[in-house]
């Protein structure tokens, strides 16, 4: 058994306090842990008392876990919780340091075993394990800070070398041990740098993979050219709330695109200029200013955000975001807003003006029409007489054209060949079928506007449906994902949607019969998440904060004030109590009696050899009662990992007392 070197545990606790910026608190704890090396007073803690100390740490462990869970995201709660492990287990470590016993039983760490008492089996003392386990806990907690400067590695080397020095082999010379330590330390330093760089690369790659990177902002592969029924989902993705002064925004945009590519089997919209720029918070840390333009409309939006990073939808012309808890907020010239290091449930109020505040000015790309689409687009432009008209008149004629002569449909047909070649899906939509979903309407409108000389872009996001029943909020589902047009009018970009208004009702009619049940489950999850991240948790937090000191005071009164102290007599001698399993066996009284009778056990003599000498003496005529059954019980009590039962323990005591009485009577008779 290797004991912890003097002062090492206290210095490790100091190192933890230095890393987590709790140095004064850790200094007090270090003094408490190292003080027993200089004083002789101890408390007479029983095995039951040590069990209670461990129960206290168990309660503190669960309380800290609950506190971390209700005050932050589950991912960050784990790291926040690990920081406090040295404080959580400090009462038990301090109790072992001030206990008159120099051991802790393994059963103490099991609630099941120490509730059953001694009948569960006596275990080997492992008091040394407590200090080494606490040493590791302090290092783990300090490493959670993830300090990238040399001080952490230096502390690891110094404290680790101190510990290794105490258990080093005395065979190897000191210079060789020192040289190996230097070599390993230098190699470890290089490995630390390499691992840090590898970690940064892995985190960056994983972030891009798990959040979908920015591909959804640079291109969107439309369903134009697909066939079959579009799959609809009832899952709620957004909740939109407004006050009586502001109507709900009709559209919430995620991104916009300016280049239409028809070279593949499916058409693709692409975007340029998607680089994000960070925004600075306003007067409040949760307020972010996107534009200085005045805003008269407002809406509060709630949504789940995987890993706290992603695109948040906003109405056209966002000016201010309020109540948005995030480490970083970014925006680009395609009208997209992205947050990083936020909560899993994002809840923010967006103030907007309805006309563009983020989008880049129009350029040549916003007037381009692919060659494959020109015939159909030019034909419709001529039929409607769009050339030379004002933007407002062109928009009116297009709205009338699509609303009056087209129908919304989610079941798509394949395009047929013509004598001149393959007809594109958009050609067929404009000239033949005149039925399709929102991507057809948005793409056709964008290209018709461009053909008429008006800059236009393709936008994607969500359409906000009206409230249903007694709902207090607008529920935006996956099936409300939508595409529309941004048209440049009077020097700004405006929303323009030519999809027939009946599309929302048609998709709602096809919703699943289990939607109500799904909505109930979603509502319960949302209410809990909202309470967890944004609700008034002061009562629970205060209760937890008050609970800890009250619990500590109760334990202090129960254990310290009611326990008598014992004074150590010398460096090793303490109160005569069992220092290991079976140490209080009555067999040792028999051994003492035989020693006084002139039959001592020789130094280093095995117990079996001594018993054979006693048996030889008994055969030679000495009147010594038999020890066979007593030795069997003693061996089981002393060495069996499962120990003995309470009945066997009483039998051992009874047989030993009977043997001593018989031996005393024999001695008196002789």
pLDDT digit string (tens) for 390-406?
Answer: 999 999 999 999 998 99
Q: How far is CA 609 from the centre of its chain?
A: 61
Q: Any idea which of 4-13, 32-41, 65-74 has the lowest mean pLDDT?
A: 65-74
Closest Cα to residue 666, out of 592, 595, 597? Answer: 597
- Is residue 418 predicted with pLDDT exceeding 50? no
Cα–Cα distances in Å, from 426 out to 262, 274, 459, 538, 558? 10, 26, 17, 58, 82
Q: Any idea which of 22-26, 69-73, 117-121, 298-302 has the lowest mean pLDDT?
A: 117-121
What pLDDT score was predicted for residue 618? 77
Residues in the chain: 670
Q: Which residue has the higher pLDDT, 175 or 443?
A: 443
Contact in structure between 16 and 58 (CB atoms under 8 Å):
no
Between β-strands 474-477 and 277-278, what pairing exists: parallel, antiparallel or unpaired? unpaired
- Is residue 273 predicted with pLDDT exceeding 50? yes
Average pLDDT over residues 328-355: 89
* Element housing 349 (H / E): strand 345-352
Average pLDDT over residues 527-539: 69
Tell me the C-alpha distance between 158 and 168, whole Å: 15
Contact in structure between 336 and 368 (CB atoms under 8 Å):
no
Tell me the C-alpha distance between 232 and 665, whole Å: 97
Tell me the C-alpha distance between 255 and 272, whole Å: 11
Contact in structure between 118 and 642 (CB atoms under 8 Å):
no
- Is residue 600 predicted with pLDDT exceeding 50? yes
Q: Which residue has the higher pLDDT, 241 or 56?
A: 241
What pLDDT score was predicted for residue 417? 44
What pLDDT score was predicted for residue 598? 81
* Element housing 484 (H / E): strand 481-489
Average pLDDT over residues 587-604: 82
What pLDDT score was predicted for residue 494? 94
Residue in this structure with the two tokens 């590898």, named with its chain if needed: 198
- Is residue 239 predicted with pLDDT exceeding 60? yes
Residues 241-256: pLDDT tens digits?
Answer: 988 777 889 999 999 9
Total H helices, total E strands in the chain: 22, 25
Between β-strands 236-241 and 417-418, what pairing exists: parallel, antiparallel or unpaired? unpaired
What pLDDT score was predicted for residue 227? 47
| Residue 37 pLDDT level (bands cut at 50, 70, 90) | confident
Tell me the C-alpha distance between 268 and 132, whole Å: 61
Percent of the chain clearing pLDDT 70 (strictly above): 74
Cα–Cα distances in Å, from 292 out to 282, 285, 319, 358? 12, 18, 7, 11
Residue 559 DSSP code: I
Greatest mean pLDDT among 136-145, 372-381, 507-516: 372-381
- Is residue 511 predicted with pLDDT exceeding 80? no
Q: How far is CA 638 from the centre of its chain?
A: 46
Tell me the C-alpha distance between 121 and 643, whole Å: 5
Average pLDDT over residues 48-68: 81
What pLDDT score was predicted for residue 348? 93
Between β-strands 328-331 and 277-278, what pairing exists: parallel, antiparallel or unpaired? antiparallel
| Residue 222 pLDDT level (bands cut at 50, 70, 90) | low
What pLDDT score was predicted for residue 393? 95
Domain boundaries, the chain: 1-147+550-575, 217-532, 587-669
Average pLDDT over residues 146-168: 73
| Residue 612 pLDDT level (bands cut at 50, 70, 90) | confident
Percent of the chain clearing pLDDT 90 (strictly above): 20
| Residue 6 pLDDT level (bands cut at 50, 70, 90) | confident
Could you tell me if residue 121 is left (phi over 0), alpha (psi between -120 and 50 degrees) or otherwise beta?
A: left
What pLDDT score was predicted for residue 576? 43
Q: How far is CA 432 from the centre of its chain?
A: 54
């Amino acid at each position: 058994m290797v004991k912890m070197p003097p002062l090492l545990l206290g210095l490790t606790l100091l190192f933890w306090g230095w890393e987590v910026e709790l140095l004064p608190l850790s200094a007090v704890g270090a003094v408490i842990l190292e003080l027993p090396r200089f004083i002789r007073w101890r408390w007479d803690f029983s095995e039951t008392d040590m069990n209670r100390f461990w129960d206290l740490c168990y309660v503190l462990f669960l309380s800290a876990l609950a506190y971390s869970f209700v005050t932050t995201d589950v991912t960050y709660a784990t790291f926040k919780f690990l920081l406090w492990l040295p404080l959580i287990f400090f009462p038990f470590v301090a109790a072992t340091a001030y206990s008159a016993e120099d051991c802790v039983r393994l059963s103490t760490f099991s609630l099941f075993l120490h509730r059953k008492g001694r009948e569960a089996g006596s275990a080997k003392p492992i008091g040394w394990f407590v200090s080494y386990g606490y040493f590791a806990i302090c290092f783990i907690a300090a490493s959670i800070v993830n300090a990238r400067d040399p001080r952490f590695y230096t502390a690891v080397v110094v404290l680790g070398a101190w510990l290794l020095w105490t258990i080093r082999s005395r065979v190897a010379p000191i210079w060789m041990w020192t040289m190996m330590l230097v070599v390993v330390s230098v190699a470890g330093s290089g490995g630390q740098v390499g691992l840090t760089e590898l970690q940064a690369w892995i985190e960056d790659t994983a972030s891009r993979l798990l959040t979908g990177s920015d591909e959804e902002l640079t291109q969107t592969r439309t369903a134009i050219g697909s066939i079959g029924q579009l799959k609809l989902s009832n899952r709620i993705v957004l909740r939109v709330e407004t006050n009586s002064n502001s109507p709900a925004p009709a559209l919430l945009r995620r991104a916009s695109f300016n280049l239409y590519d028809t070279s593949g089997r499916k058409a693709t919209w692409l975007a340029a200029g998607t680089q994000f720029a960070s925004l600075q918070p306003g007067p409040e840390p949760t307020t972010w200013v996107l534009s200085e333009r005045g805003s008269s409309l407002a809406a509060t939006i709630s949504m789940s955000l995987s890993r706290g990073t992603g695109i948040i939808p906003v109405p056209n012309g966002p000016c201010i975001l309020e109540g948005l808890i995030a480490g970083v907020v970014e925006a680009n010239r395609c009208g997209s807003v992205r947050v990083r290091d936020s909560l899993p449930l994002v809840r923010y109020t967006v103030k907007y003006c309805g006309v563009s505040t983020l989008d880049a000015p129009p350029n040549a790309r916003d007037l381009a029409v692919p060659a494959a689409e020109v015939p159909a687009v030019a034909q419709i432009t001529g039929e409607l007489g769009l050339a030379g008209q004002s933007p407002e008149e062109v928009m009116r004629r297009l709205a009338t054209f699509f609303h009056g002569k087209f129908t919304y449909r989610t079941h798509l047909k394949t395009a047929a060949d013509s004598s001149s070649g393959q007809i594109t899906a958009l050609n067929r939509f404009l000239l033949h079928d005149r039925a399709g979903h929102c991507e057809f309407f948005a793409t056709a409108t964008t290209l018709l506007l461009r053909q008429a000389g008006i800059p236009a872009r393709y936008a994607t996001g969500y359409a906000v449906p009206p409230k249903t029943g007694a709902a207090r909020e607008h529920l935006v589902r996956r099936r409300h994902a939508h595409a529309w047009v941004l048209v440049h009018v009077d020097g700004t970009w405006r929303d323009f949607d030519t999809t027939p208004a009946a599309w929302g009702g048609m998709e709602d009619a096809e919703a699943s019969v289990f939607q109500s049940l799904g909505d109930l489950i979603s509502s319960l999850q949302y209410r809990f998440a909202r309470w967890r991240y944004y609700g008034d948790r002061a009562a629970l937090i205060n209760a937890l904060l008050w609970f800890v000191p009250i619990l500590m005071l109760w334990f202090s009164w129960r254990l310290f004030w009611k326990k008598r102290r014992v004074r150590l007599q010398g460096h090793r001698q303490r109160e005569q109590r069992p220092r290991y399993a079976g140490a209080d066996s009555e067999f040792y009284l028999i051994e003492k009696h035989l020693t006084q009778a002139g039959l001592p056990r020789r130094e280093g003599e095995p117990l079996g050899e001594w018993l054979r000498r006693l048996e030889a003496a008994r055969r030679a005529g000495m009147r010594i009662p038999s020890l066979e059954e007593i030795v069997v019980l003693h061996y089981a009590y002393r060495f069996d990992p499962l120990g003995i039962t309470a009945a066997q323990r009483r039998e051992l005591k009874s047989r030993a007392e009977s043997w001593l009485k018989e031996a005393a009577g024999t001695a008196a008779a002789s």
